[in-house]
C-alpha cells in the first residue's frame, strides 16, 4: 500500500491546529504540525509533503517570510501553499500571499467543506504526480535498460502492461479534472496543466515504442 500523503499544518495557535486536524480527519492523509515558520522549515528538510496550510500571522517568522524560504529551496519550491488568515487582515494580504507563491488564500473563519475539498483535490494531484513519476521510471527501466536492440518479443509482452498503466493514469486525470471543474477552483488550473503535460509526454514516449 502506498504511503498516505502528508499535509503540513503551520499555525502558532494550538486551537487552530486542532480545528484543522478535525476538518481534515475524514481524508486519507497524515497531518503534520508546525507551531512556527522555523518548525515548518525544519519539517520540510526530512519529509515530503503534498500541501502546506500556512497561517499568515505568526510571531517571529510570519507566513510570507516562511513561504519565501520554502520557494527558494529547490526541494520544496513546487509544494503548493494555501495561506490562511483572519478576515480582518490588511487588504493587501491576498496580493502578498499570491506574490509569495501561494496557490490559494482563505480567510478565517473559512467553510470547512471548501477547505476539505481543496485539500482533497491537491492530494489527488500529488498522488497522480507520484504515480506518473513511477510510471516514467518503469518505462525507462523496462524498455530502455532491460531490452537490448532487437528484443521485440520481450518488448511485445511489456508494452500491454505499460499501456494499461498509462490508460489508468489518463482515466484518473479525467476524474480529477471533473472534480476541479465542479468545484470551480481556479487555483487548480496550473497544477492540472502541469500534470496533463507530463502525462502527454509519457504517452508520446510510449507511442513511439509501439
Residue 138, pLDDT above cutoff 80: no
pLDDT band per the 50, 70, 90 thresholds, residue 109: confident
Q: Give me the pLDDT at residue 132, please.
A: 72
What number is the average pLDDT over the span 105-121? 85
Alpha helices in 24-151 (DSSP H): 37-46, 63-72, 93-99, 112-139
Contact 119/24 with Cβ under 8 angstroms?
A: yes
- Three-state SS for 84? strand
Question: What residues have CB less than 8 Å from 167, skipping those under 6 apart?
Answer: none
The pLDDT, as a whole number, for residue 185 is 60
Angle, helices 152-183/112-139, rounded to nearest 10 degrees: 170
Rg from Cα positions in the chain:
20
Q: How far is CA 108 from the centre of its chain?
A: 22
Of the candidates 102, 34, 104, the one whose C-alpha atom is nearest the C-alpha of residue 68 is: 102
pLDDT band at 98 (very low <50, low <70, confident <90, very high): low
Asked if residue 10 has pLDDT above 80, the reply is yes
pLDDT value for 1:
42
Question: What pLDDT, in 10s, does the model give residues 153-203?
Answer: 555 556 676 677 777 777 777 777 666 666 556 666 666 777 677 677 666
Cβ atoms of 23 and 115 within 8 Å: the answer is yes
Helix (H) or strand (E) run with residue 178 in it: helix 152-183
The per-residue pLDDT for range 36-94, each reduced to its tens digit, is 999 999 999 999 999 999 998 899 899 889 999 999 898 898 899 998 887 555 556 66
- Lookup: cell for 82: 494555501
- d(CA 158, CA 153) in angstroms, rounded, equals 9
DSSP three-state, residue 4 = coil
* Rounded Cα gap, residues 126 and 50, in angstroms: 6
- Residue 25: pLDDT band (50, 70, 90) is very high
Chain position carrying cell 519550491: 77
Amino acid at each position: 500500500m502506498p504511503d498516505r500523503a502528508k499535509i503540513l499544518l503551520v499555525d502558532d495557535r494550538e486551537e487552530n491546529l486542532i480545528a484543522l486536524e478535525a476538518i481534515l480527519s475524514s481524508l486519507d492523509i497524515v497531518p503534520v504540525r508546525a507551531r512556527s515558520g522555523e518548525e515548518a522549515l525544519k519539517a520540510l528538510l526530512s519529509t515530503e509533503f503534498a500541501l502546506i496550510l500556512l497561517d499568515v500571522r505568526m510571531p517571529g517568522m510570519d507566513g510570507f517570510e516562511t513561504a519565501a524560504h520554502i520557494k527558494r529551496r529547490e526541494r520544496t519550491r513546487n509544494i503548493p501553499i494555501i495561506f490562511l488568515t483572519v478576515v480582518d487582515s490588511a487588504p493587501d494580504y491576498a496580493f502578498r500571499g499570491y506574490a509569495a507563491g501561494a496557490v490559494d488564500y482563505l480567510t478565517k473563519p473559512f467553510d470547512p467543506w471548501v477547505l476539505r475539498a481543496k485539500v482533497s483535490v491537491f492530494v489527488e494531484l500529488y498522488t497522480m504526480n507520484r504515480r506518473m513519476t513511477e510510471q516514467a521510471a518503469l518505462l525507462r527501466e523496462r524498455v530502455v535498460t532491460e531490452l537490448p536492440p532487437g528484443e521485440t518479443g520481450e518488448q511485445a509482452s511489456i508494452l500491454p502492461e505499460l499501456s494499461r498503466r498509462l490508460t489508468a493514469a489518463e482515466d484518473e486525470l479525467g476524474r480529477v479534472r471533473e472534480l476541479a471543474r465542479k468545484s470551480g477552483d481556479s487555483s487548480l488550473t496550473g497544477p492540472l496543466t502541469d500534470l496533463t503535460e507530463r502525462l502527454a509526454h509519457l504517452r508520446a514516449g510510449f507511442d513511439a515504442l509501439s
